[in-house]
Amino acid sequence: MAVTSQLPAFTSPRVSTASNGYEPLSMNGNRQSERAGGLRFAQDAEKLKATEKQDDPPKPMDIVPWRMRERMKTMDVALVLCLNIGTDPPDVEKSTPCARKECWVDPFSMPAKKAIETIGNTLQSQYERWQPRARYKQSLDPTVEKIRELCVNRRRLAKHDRVLFHYNGHGVPRPTQNGEVWVFNKSYTQYIPLLVYDLQSWVGTPSIYVFDCSAAGVLLSHFTSPPPTQTQTHGRNGSPSANEAIVLAACAADELLPMNPELCADVFTSCLTTPITVALRWFISQNELSMAHLDASFIERIPGKLTDRKTPLGELNWIFTAITDTIAWNMLPRELFQKLFRQDLLVASLFRNFLLAERIMKSEGCSPCSLPALPPTNHHSLWRSWDLAAEVCLNQLYKLSNPYPNVDMSFQPSRFFAEQLTAFEVWLQFGSSEKPPPQQLPMVLQVLLSQVHRLRALVLLKKFLDLGPWAVNLALSVGIFPYVLKLLQSPASELRQVLVFIWAKILALDSSCQVDLVKDDGHSYFISHLAAGLHNGGGNQSAYSAANSMMPAEQKVMAAFIISVICNKYLPGQKSCLPQYLHKICINLLQDPDEDVRKWICLCLAKLWEHFDDAKRIVIEDKVPRILGSKLRDDRPEVRAAAAYALGTLVGFQCDPNTSGKHVDMSRLDDFLRQRAHDDIVVALELLRGCRDGSPLVRRESVLALANVILHNYHQPRFESVAKHFKNQPVNAPATSPADNGSSRAELDFQGSNDARNSLESVNDTSFQSSADVFVDEELLDEIGEGAKYYAQIWHVLKEMQSRDPFPQVVDAVKAIVSFVNASILEAEQDQLRENSQTGSVLASPPRSANPESLTTMRTERSPGAVSQLRREGTVSGLAHIQAPQKEERFAQFNDPILEPVQEDEDPLSEKGAESLHNPSSYSPIEYDAARRMSTLGDQEEVKDFTMNLRQRAVLNNDAEMTSLLLFHPYETMLLVADEKDQISLYNFEETETKVLTFGNKNPPGSRLTSLNWINETEESLLTCGSDDGVIKIYHACFASCSGSHNQFIKVFRSDGEQLALIRYHEGFLGERIGPVSCLAFHPHRLFLAAGATDSVVAVYSSDK
């Protein structure tokens, strides 16, 4: 027996094939290989061996929390102004001139009472720009009692929301070391201290405090332990973020507020409430040479609104927001960034503006501080980008206000975001997970707001997410999720494919986003995108579908994957997708030419109806199982396995009449159970085709799918009866058959089903010979009733797989099912013995009921939920161990890069890229292989000079009783050695004379290896091993293989298990020659197959091409 890689069909003048010829399989000649196979095979085998040792299922990737567990909002604001206009505090000596304006209002330009009212109203209007829906209350030059009343009322109205307390103490002394701020008495003749401790007890938590006064930093230490009573009363579920107070202080404990007359007196408050105005004024004052043609009054004439990004003022505010957000994201810890910049809109705005206050006030000798503390950000490089954007905008506006004669000028939008996207694109070309993340990532979030740059930003975001799960997690932590969720409402067709890619990456990392998609009707977006991939060509095809009739296959795959995740273990998702005829769309896509599309469509269907009886009923009525069963004959094993998995999720139903909570007519219930049992058996008969598949993946999925039938409450008692019936019979011996009326009775309830008839024919055509010879006797018919023959056939196929299947994982799954059934039988017998012993009749057990429905009643009472018990409890641990990793692996594949990576020799900054640029000669794998073979074989003239004097080159110890097979690699100094059983060793006899690796072929005990062969020697070598139990194993992939039998048949297979040809060996005028095929070999370079038997004849076959 030999196995190799060549053409799949062969003919000979003396041989007839099972078909009229097959097209030759294409050899992959375009793959580049640095050196051929032996060493590469050794390395790959070591990796595979290490992988096989990992028995535990793969652990899902740890997701760094990116969702805000609690959204908060600031809905009540207390504005406290202690100005006492006209009277300076006694502990502050002001310079002359000094800053006088409060909220850009000169208090000395009007009466004191009117001035403080104007300042209070102006401050309120400035805060309203950031939170217009909040409730505001002013307290001007208040007393302690007024502040207490104000704070208590704010907390009462706010309930669990955050309260903002703003304190301006420019007209009172500095805070004390004891944590006191100053207010007034009723007659304004004394300063009255107010403990911060009392203030916290009135305001409660959550809260944020702004202290704009000299030495404000001295108060921070008094906010580290808030009063426990109020914290427990008003805190939201005791969460840390709700129980902590946030504090913004204008300067440190030993500092005075700046008195620069070019700034306003409340420069800290102005930075927090009017950042653009302060930033532009400060920029002009710091750049007197380049901004000499402008004065501060020009800033007031900048057109536009802060909220309109298409105007100059709105664009500057947009750029400022993006820069401060990016600085914070790059400088702050992730958790702190989420808390301060993503949890509360008003808090986020204040902290973005606080970064500006730090920059400006530090230039004046003050150091604003906060609780929690922030790292210094005033020298961040992005502030230069802000200066550039401000300068360009101001100069352009100046030119527009003073135009040249006969020159038509208009405002040009800033190139800031386009340049930031370019910088992000450069990082994508040369960045990696080992380098710091791109600082422009938050910019992409801001650019998504712009329709001009949106498509480019999404494309770059797609490339970034493709770098791996770490990139997806990073993007989600920045805050990209609500933006891409809202974009699903956009009708723009050019965004569809990019959004589908992005959402596939997001759901591959965090499937909990399915809830958000269903809530916002996002599933409809992907179902319509999937429907657009249909090649229906009908007249009712939508314009979008017609335009996308050539949709890339990977787009269909990702759409199917997204819908699968939406439906996965989420009933609202299934209920939302079912009315949109998802199953009909998927059925049409099952004929797609791409194998990955067909595979994921099968998985999408499985997730649609898994544990969802309404969907199962509808798809069964629409004949979906028959269509899906045809995929068990698909060309690709992955598709066949996915179809088996989908069929397995389709079986099973609720058989408890009280499940729905309504009264059910028992007669109608019997009809329902009988019909559903019939449907399950039809599907099970379809799955028997997968049990004989050449691919172990398909066989394993088929077995796991059959488990849902065998271990169902309705079917398990019947399989237990079959198991006891055949318990004492050999596996290969057919059961005794009664008269023909037994078969007719067994098929009575299935005669009207073409599905059952076709499935039964497919079972009779299986390679398990005895499965077509299973008959039942009268006793089993009386006990089981309907479909007895089919139950027996299914059980018989499983028993044959248990004894014959060469793949350990398949055998483990079968053993798990059989063990579960046998354990249930033993449990029932023990229960019966205990009952009999209690009544004193141990040997006289009651007669078994002839009513088949009693089997269901017994099983329901004794072991409810057998299928779920199998999946959950680990009673059949092998089955859960095998099936669970499969689902994780299917979904995890979208975490891997999908886009074509940049090759190292194409990267001009890498060593290989530099060599490629220096020596751009073309590379031909064919020429390389030919030259290497010639150098290996050597010159024929040199061979003639060799003498026959041989010397010992190496001594290799195989540590075995005997050596049965030896195989050299044709181009490497590699030698394969097989022992008398199943162990294979690989030696490098030139360098180390030691084993490179050892692995077992895992053939059954009592069998041995009979054949070794290298395949694809010139590139990535593949190894085929044959053993005398009739099993051929190919390590890694193989294009074609063949095997011979004792019946003079030669079968040629493809690597996925599909039979390509059947050759009847040695057929002559005297009829078939008796004798087994003993050896097979492919020619290494020509299309010839040689076969020999136990005689002197060798037959050579060639391709019919």
Q: Which helix (H) or strand (E) holds 81?
A: strand 74-81
Indicate whether 322 pLDDT > 70.
yes
Closest alpha carbon to 749 in 788, 787, 790: 787
For residue 849, the model assigns a pLDDT of 41
Confidence category of residue 746, pLDDT binned at 50, 70, 90: very low
- Which is higher by pLDDT, 70 or 776? 70
Are residues 35 and 119 located together in one domain of the fold?
A: no
Beta strand 162-168 pairing with 207-212: parallel
Whether residue 8 sits in one domain with residue 98:
no
Kindly indicate the confidence band of residue 767, based on its pLDDT and cuts at 50, 70 and 90.
Answer: very low
User: Per-residue pLDDT tens for 468-511?
Assistant: 899 999 999 999 999 999 999 999 999 999 999 999 999 999 99
Residue 484 lies in a domain: no
End-to-end CA distance of the chain: 25
- Say if 634 falls within a structural domain: no
CA geometry: angle 517, 520, 526, nearest 5 deg: 50
- Mean pLDDT value of segment 781-800: 85
Q: Is 825 helix (H, G, I), strand (E, B) or coil?
A: helix
In a domain, 618, yes or no: no
pLDDT band at 738 (very low <50, low <70, confident <90, very high): very low
> Of 3-17, 559-573, 908-922, which has the strongest mean pLDDT?
559-573
Higher pLDDT, 1097 or 21: 1097
* Residue 69 confidence (pLDDT): 75
Domains in the chain, number:
4
Report the pLDDT averaged over residues 1022-1027. 86
Strand (E) positions, 876-1030?
963-968, 974-979, 983-988, 995-1000, 1009-1015, 1022-1027
Does 803 reside within a domain?
Answer: yes
Would you say residue 53 lies in a domain? yes
Query: Do residues 720 and 645 lie in contact, with contact meaning Cβ atoms separated by under 8 Å?
Result: no
Lowest mean pLDDT among 240-249, 383-392, 558-567: 240-249
Question: Is the bond preceding residue 303 a cis peptide, omega within 30 degrees?
Answer: no
User: pLDDT at position 960, please?
Assistant: 78
763 with 682, same domain: the answer is yes
Q: Has residue 835 been placed in a domain?
A: yes
Which amino acid is present at 392?
Answer: V
The residue among 472 and 64 whose pLDDT is bigger is: 472
With H, G, I as helix, E, B as strand and everything else as coil, classify residue 967. strand
Q: Taking 50 as the threshold, does the pLDDT of residue 850 lie above it?
A: no
Residue 1002 has a pLDDT of 80
**Contact by Cβ (8 Å): 933, 971:** yes
Q: Which of 473-482, 661-670, 794-803, 1073-1082 has the lowest mean pLDDT?
A: 661-670
State the pLDDT at residue 843. 41
pLDDT of amino acid 485: 96
Same domain, 268 and 315: yes
Lowest-confidence region among 600-609, 762-771, 864-873, 944-953: 864-873
| pLDDT at 691 (0 to 100) | 92
Task: Give the mean model confidence (pLDDT) for residues 304-320.
Answer: 93
1097 and 962 in a single domain? The answer is no
Cβ neighbors of 198 (< 8 A, separation 6 or more) are: 148
Q: Tell me the average pLDDT across 51-65.
A: 56
377-391, 673-687, 783-797, 900-914 — which one is most confidently predicted on average?
377-391
The reported pLDDT for the residue numbered 817 is 93
Q: What pLDDT sits at residue 16?
A: 29
Contact 666, 723 (CB under 8 A): no
**Which of the two residues, 1075 and 92, has the higher pLDDT score?**
92
Where do runs of H (alpha helix) occur along 53-183?
Answer: 112-128, 144-158
What is d(CA 1028, CA 1005) in angstroms, rounded to the nearest whole number?
11
Task: Return the percentage of the chain with pLDDT > 90, whole number.
Answer: 45
Q: Is there a single domain that holds both residue 722 and residue 806?
A: yes
Whether residue 1094 is contained in a domain is answered as: yes
pLDDT tens profile 104-163: 999 999 999 999 999 999 999 999 999 999 999 999 999 999 999 999 999 999 999 999
Same domain, 881 and 1024: no
Amino acid identity of residue 848, one-letter, is: R
Contact present, 274 and 126 (Cβ < 8 Å): yes
Q: d(Cα 528, Cα 795) in Å, to the nearest integer? A: 43
Decide: helix, strand or coil at residue 400: helix
- The predicted pLDDT at position 38 comes to 41
Give kind and range of the element (H or E) at residue 74.
Answer: strand 74-81
* pLDDT above 70: residue 662: no
Contact between 621 and 650 under an 8 Å Cβ cutoff? The reply is no
Statement: residue 1066 has pLDDT above 80: no
SS3 category, 1034: strand
pLDDT bin (cut points 50, 70, 90) of residue 1022 is confident
Tell me what pLDDT residue 2 has.
35
Q: Which residue in this structure is represented by tokens 């269901």?
A: 856
Mean pLDDT of 447-469: 93
> What string of DSSP letters covers 283-326?
HHHH-TTTTTT--GGGGGG--S-TT-TTSHHHHHHHHHHHHHHH
Spatial distance between the Cα atoms of 1077 and 1052, rounded to a whole number of angstroms: 14
- Identify the DSSP state of 579: G
Residues 706, 786 share a domain: yes
Total number of residues shown for the chain = 1105
State the angle between helix axes of 334-341 and 345-362 in degrees (0 to 180), rounded to the nearest 10: 110
Please tell me whether the peptide bond between 852 and the residue prior to it is cis, using omega within 30 degrees of 0: no
Q: Is the peptide bond before 97 cis (omega within 30 degrees of 0)?
A: yes
Task: Identify which of 36-40, 252-256, 888-892 has the greatest average pLDDT.
Answer: 252-256
pLDDT value at 522 more than 80: yes
My answer on whether 1030 and 1051 are in the same domain is no
pLDDT computed for residue 143 by the predictor: 95
Residue 280, domain extent: 74-389
In the chain, pLDDT over 70 holds for what percent of residues?
68
Is the residue at 444 inside a domain?
no
Q: Is the pLDDT of residue 859 over 50?
A: no
Residue 847: what pLDDT? 42
Average pLDDT over residues 704-730: 85
Residues 6+ apart with CB under 8 A from 1025: 3, 978, 984, 1001, 1009, 1011, 1012, 1032, 1033, 1035
Q: Is residue 749 scored above 90 in pLDDT?
A: no
Please say if the pLDDT value at position 74 is more than 70.
yes
Distance CA 1031, CA 958 (A): 24
Mean pLDDT of 329-345: 93
Residue 276 CA to residue 273 CA, distance in Å, equals 9
What does the longest C-alpha to C-alpha distance in the chain come to?
132
The domain boundary, picked from 389, 420, 443, lies at: 389
Q: Are residues 1082 and 965 in the same domain?
A: no
Mean pLDDT of 66-92: 89
Q: What is the mean pLDDT of residues 204-232?
A: 81
Distance CA 395, CA 741 (A): 100
Instruction: Say yes or no to pLDDT of 378 above 90.
Output: yes
Which residue carries 């076969």 as its tokens?
1091
Give the end of a domain, one of 1015, 1037, 1059. Answer: 1037
Q: Do 481 and 66 touch, CB atoms closer than 8 A? A: yes
Question: Residue 1041 pLDDT > 90, yes or no?
Answer: no
Output 93 or 128, whichever has higher pLDDT: 128
Mean pLDDT to the nearest integer, 626-634: 92
The answer, yes or no, to whether residue 420 has pLDDT greater than 90, is yes
pLDDT band at 959 (very low <50, low <70, confident <90, very high): confident
Whether residue 562 is predicted with pLDDT greater than 80 in this model: the reply is: yes
* Residues 774 and 682 grouped into a single domain: yes
Query: Which of 204, 262, 253 lies closest to 228, judged by CA?
Result: 204
- Asked if residue 231 and residue 358 are part of one domain, the reply reads yes
> What does the mean pLDDT of the chain come to?
77
pLDDT at 75: 93
